[in-house]
A and B are shown apart, each in its own frame.
Chain A
């Protein structure tokens, strides 16, 4: 039997998130830091990074959703990439890194990888089972 699923990606694991941020050219830090969040309130974050144009963001573990959520002061957002696009890019790269890592652990190999015109990434992986 086969299946076809649609999955809403959530930032649930630290390692692929760090890898994704590195891959996108950012320099994340896992030292404890405070980042200005909603209404300029300083919030403790688990991962922090400085974006271009002096924009600071952090990722804080949220126990309700069991995933990382973005902390930033939108009033101070100067990065020329809008915040929604930033989150999308990070989430897409997180999904990519998670898929690559987990499938390689299971012995799959990449046979095809394509960047599509609509901005999506297509991946085909195979494994021969005895």
Chain B
């Protein structure tokens, strides 16, 4: 059960920085599409690959658990 996290910094001039975390694949784009449309115009957008990283961690933990059982 992944936790979805949205972080916003609303600047004094109304500029908004948004960071969207915890989504699989490109579903993060759909998650905030309506909101972004209501807010205004996207000026910059950068995709990050933390989903890949967290999957790797999961595999790593699984390996650890399996080894604990074995020993």
Interface residues of A (CB under 8 A from B): 1-10, 12-13, 16, 67, 88-89, 91-92, 94-96, 98-99, 102-103, 106, 108, 116, 118-130
Please tell me if B13 contacts chain A, counting CB pairs below 8 Å: yes
Given the contacts A6-B44, A92-B12, A123-B10, A16 and B38 also touching, CB distance less than 8 Å? yes
Interface of A is mostly: mixed
State which residues 2-60 of B face A: CB under 8 Å.
Answer: 2-29, 31-32, 34-52
Contact (Cβ within 8 A) A7 B25: no
How many pairs, one residue from A and one from B, have CB atoms within 8 Å of each other in the complex? 164
Please tell me if B1 contacts chain A, counting CB pairs below 8 Å: yes
Q: Taking the nearest CB of chain A, how far is it from the CB of B2, in angstroms?
A: 6
Q: Taking the nearest CB of chain B, how far is it from the CB of A86, in angstroms?
A: 12
CA distance A4 to B45 in the complex (A): 6
Q: How large is the interface on B (under 10, 10 to 19, 20 to 34, 35 or more residues)?
A: 35 or more
CA distance A130 to B5 in the complex (A): 14
CA distance A99 to B44 in the complex (A): 18
> Using Cβ atoms and an 8 Å threshold, which residues of chain B touch A121?
8-10
Q: List the B residue with the shortest CB-CB distance to A92.
A: B14
> Using Cβ atoms and an 8 Å threshold, which residues of chain A touch B16?
6-7, 9, 95, 99
> Using Cβ atoms and an 8 Å threshold, which residues of chain A touch B52?
1
